[in-house]
Every structure is written in structure tokens, then in C-alpha cells.
Chains A and B, each alone.
Chain A
Amino acid sequence: DTGVSQDPRHKITKRGQNVTFRCDPISEHNRLYWYRQTLGQGPEFLTYFQNEAQLEKSRLLSDRFSAERPKGSFSTLEIQRTEQGDSAMYLCASSSSRDRDEKLFFGSGTQLSVL
């Protein structure tokens, strides 16, 4: 088991461009989460999937943000028409619904810089 992996590690883009991030969870985990983290803050929940179903979305997730998990394995997070305020670390985590305490396993994140 290689843990949760995220790609890319870093992304620099110009304002107005679209970006897409990928997350591969731990293989036996059926739950997948996306968070955003800015400097000096804890992770802020964006959305979560159980298998391929998107079960919850935060109000932070504007209509420029969309996440998919088409086959219940990897997930993508797309940000359209990026703004400078989107600059942050985007974290992915996974867990198993069989794990009653819902502990999360995190990837190393994708650092987005919008110029």
C-alpha cells in the first residue's frame, strides 16, 4: 500500500485558467475527501465521496469548483477560471466506512499558486 497520492505536487497558473488535480486514495478505502488549507489555518472541508457518490459539499465549494470520482477509485478536483484567492494547498484524504472512528489518511497535497 503506497498511501494516498496526489498529482501534481505544485501547480502555478495564471488567473482565469482552469486547473485539475488528481487524487489516488488507499486502494481499499471507499471514502475520499477534498480539503483546502491556507497558511496558518487548519484544513477546510470541500467535499466528500463514498464510492462514486458525492455525498456532501461545503458552501466553500463555489460553482467554479467541481469534483468527480467516476469509478469510485481516483478522484479529480477541477477549478475553472481560477482567481488569486484560490491559491492554497489542496489536500486529499481517504478512509474506510468500515473504520468506525473515521480516521483519515492524507496525501501530501497539491500547492496551487494563481498569479
Chain B
Amino acid sequence: DARVTQTPRHKVTEMGQEVTMRCQPILGHNTVFWYRQTMMQGLELLAYFRNRAPLDDSGMPKDRFSAEMPDATLATLKIQPSEPRDSAVYFCASGTQGSGETQYFGPGTRLLVL
């Protein structure tokens, strides 16, 4: 049963610390998305990659957030330095180009910045 995996599932850290979240997309999917979910804003697109190339990161605060795909099986989202307002659930989703943008979500990383 192919699914997107994310680690860690939960993260509690102090303000100013670096946070790295990891995602393994479904094998064969060439598009990877990062979303953030909060009660106030709902689901927001942060960035996405196609064939490992970043296509759009306009939703991401550039000064502290960075997203990369070191290889086809790993996507990372890093926050440095973290702030309390970054507390949210971060989802990774993957899909294939031409699939009508059907995306499959991972279980999320729940981040709490104190």
C-alpha cells in the first residue's frame, strides 16, 4: 500500500532552534508539495517541486524557510530560526504530472515552537 511518509510526526522545540522535516513521496510520483495547516489559515501551499526542481515557493517565508529535494525519494523542509508563529501541522503531498493534480497527503508533522 503506497503512501507518503513524513518524519518526525511530532516536534516540540524552542524558539530560535532549527527544525527539519522530512518527506518520502510515493515511489514514481514526480511532484512533491509542502503545505502548512493552522486553525486560522487552513491549508496553505508553501512550495512544490517537479522532478526535484523547485517550481513555486511563493507561499514560503524566504528568510527562515527552505525546501529541498536531495533525491527523488526525499524532500526536506527546514525552518531556521523557528518562531512560535511557525507552530502548525506541516503536510507533504505527492502526485504525478498530468494526473489532474490529484495529490496524496502524508500524515503530517505537528510542530510546536515554544
- The judgment on whether A and B are partners is no
